[in-house]
Amino acid sequence: MSVTQQALAIGRGLAAPRSWRRAWFGELHGVIHAAGIGGGLAITALMTGLLKVSQHRSQAISLAVTALPVTLPAALFYVQQGTALPWATIAALIIGLWVGTGLGARLANLVSPDKLRVALVIVIAAIAAFMAFKAWA
């Protein structure tokens, strides 16, 4: 029985809140995130595209759910498979992310949802182009 089915079974006979009916999306994101594909970027794009959640709300949810409790199990699995973690790099990234996400959230709330969506598409395209270039170089 999947996590979604278990969660819905708990409330059997009761009307499941809308957020519980969307638990499958969490499972999908977990698989995508653990595979190293985008994490927050993927969840934002999928929420706006599949679930029709507003751009600002999708980005806020993405930031909330991709925090340490969600990412730690995937990272620990990689460690169990023999991947060594560069702790100095991780510490530097955490500091940079702490500052950058605060600044990014402030900037994102200064623009309209449509302009924010266009910016997200540009970032996704740039990342895809960079990854394609690196793969074929």
Residues 6+ apart with CB under 8 A from 46: 25, 28, 29, 32
What's the whole-model pTM score?
A: 0.53
- Domain boundaries, given as residue ranges, for the chain: 3-136
Q: Could you read off the pLDDT of 87-136 as tens digits, one per residue?
A: 887 788 778 878 887 888 888 889 998 998 888 888 888 888 887 888 88
